[in-house]
Amino acid sequence: MLRRCLQNNIIFKFPSDYLLLLLQIHHTTASKEIIRDFRMEMKRAVTGQARKTPDNFKQRSLFEKQPDIMSQTDHYHNDNLQLIRQSARDFAETHIRPYVMEWDESQYFPIELFHEMGHHGFLGVLVPEQYGGAGLGYQEYVTIIEEIAKVCGSIGLSVAAHNSLCTNHILSFGSDYIKEKFLPRLATGKCVGAWGLTEPNTGSDAMRMQCVATKDGDHWVLNGTKCWITHGISGEVAVVIVRTGELLDSRGMTAFVVERGTPGFKAGKKENKLGMRASETAEMIFDNCRIPDSHVLGEVGDGFIQAMKILDGGRISIAALSMGIAKGAYEASVKYSKERHQFGHPISQFQAISFKLADMATKIEASELLIRQAAYLKNAHEKCTKQAAMAKYYASEVSVQVSTEAVQIFGGYGYTKDFPVEKFYRDSKLCTIGEGTSEVQKLVIAREALRG
């Protein structure tokens, strides 16, 4: 069946079938040769080798449902990436868009949606197939986050935190035992993951963390509180970085995997937020919580250094989240400006409005170039600290600027919940704060630049 798909230019009924097949590939009886050919198809997405898109796919109504205004200038639309983009877009339109405002108003975290996303491969994007993941790279990952964020920033944030923080930390530094134990559950959406670095008194200044772990036989005893944790209540698996050595010693912190239900581990206060309201944010509290030695990620004392590496990837995903929000706000603004008439003309014909749109489009494309550059380096396993910080800093600031201008273009209607731009405006602000504020990104960029 896979062979026939390849020979016939992969004609699937729905684009999401493509990711489903990828997930199921190792469960089929397909020969190694067929699987190799199929994987080569996916590799083309990373290397950019073009494969002709079948005409009947291009004509599908899914493409017409949400016209992607930016796509004409998107240089990363090789055909496989386009299939993945369409798959994520299709999913977001069907499973997220109808409920966006309901979830936002009630601050409801839709855990059932995450189980469904797991079936579609969105929760194990970077995880190899041997652990039940989609085995894709950062370009595909960025595309998926962007498409989801165009519809709902909250769900985009949760998908980003799950994939690039918790799951990627386990993938990057876990032992074989830990990877086999946790990755299949995380990658297939059987559970969502959390990642805890921040504490009430230490956000940007994470090295001063107070949460501690002390050794007791073949266990560690954790005490303290992590705050602002995405999925702090619903996360079944949490990676936490805590102090195991001296204060301000970068080798004095260690990362552990903690399972929900472990005695001494409980959720605390859920935050009532300005935006990103459907993404759960809560405290995680450790009170004499005993964790086995086998749940240490990597070496004792490496936790902070690991966290900084994980944040390089995490910042690329927050940049993609920012870009998705900005594109959503921009596309809504273009459409509205052509429909809304004042003084006998569509408002898009006023230079004051069209110049806003020109600025928005230019900044979004500049963001995309920075993001794709960082994703390229990350895929190539090259150092990308500076490029990831630049992408995160620039794209998040652009996201706030673009969604602010979008509200202005919508006028009074933009100030209501009947139109989507007020939510983009609220959601965008998180992007300049989470996973390192804009000020911290500038510190990182300056440090790297001055290194020479």
Annotated active-site positions, please?
Answer: 435
Answer for the pair 252, 272: CB distance below 8 angstroms, yes or no.
no
Answer for the pair 322, 429: CB distance below 8 angstroms, yes or no. Answer: no
Cα 342 to Cα 1: distance, rounded to the nearest angstrom? 57
- The Cα 249–Cα 305 span in angstroms is 11
As measured in angstroms, the least distance from the Cβ of 149 to ligand FAD is 14
CB burial of residue 308 (10 Å; 0-12, 13-18, 19+): middle
CA distance 342 to 272: 38
Nearer to ligand FAD, 267 or 353 (CB): 267
Reduce the secondary structure of 92-121 to three states and give it as a string.
HHHHHHHHHHHHHHHCCCCHHHHHHHHHCC
Least distance in Å: CB of 59 to ligand FAD? 40
Which residues in this chain contact ligand FAD in the complex, by CB under 6 A? 161, 195-198, 203-204, 228-230, 273, 276, 281, 430, 433-437, 439-440
- What six digits make up the tokens of 211? 């949460």
Measured from the CB atom, is 221 or 433 closer to ligand FAD? 433
**At 407, which helix (H) or strand (E)?**
helix 385-410
Q: Which residue, 54 or 203, has its beta carbon nearer to ligand FAD? A: 203
Task: Kindly give the pairing relationship between strand 193-196 and strand 237-243.
Answer: parallel
CA dihedral 393, 397, 399, 400 (to 10 degrees): 150
Shortest distance, position 3 Cβ to ligand FAD, whole Å: 43
CB-wise, 195 or 394, nearer to ligand FAD?
195
Q: How far is the CB of 307 from ligand FAD (least distance, A)?
A: 9
Name the residue with tokens 């079938």.
Answer: 17
Residue number closest to ligand FAD, CB atom: 203
Nearest-approach distance from CB 206 to ligand FAD, in angstroms: 8
When the beta carbons of 328 and 434 are compared against ligand FAD, the nearer one is 434
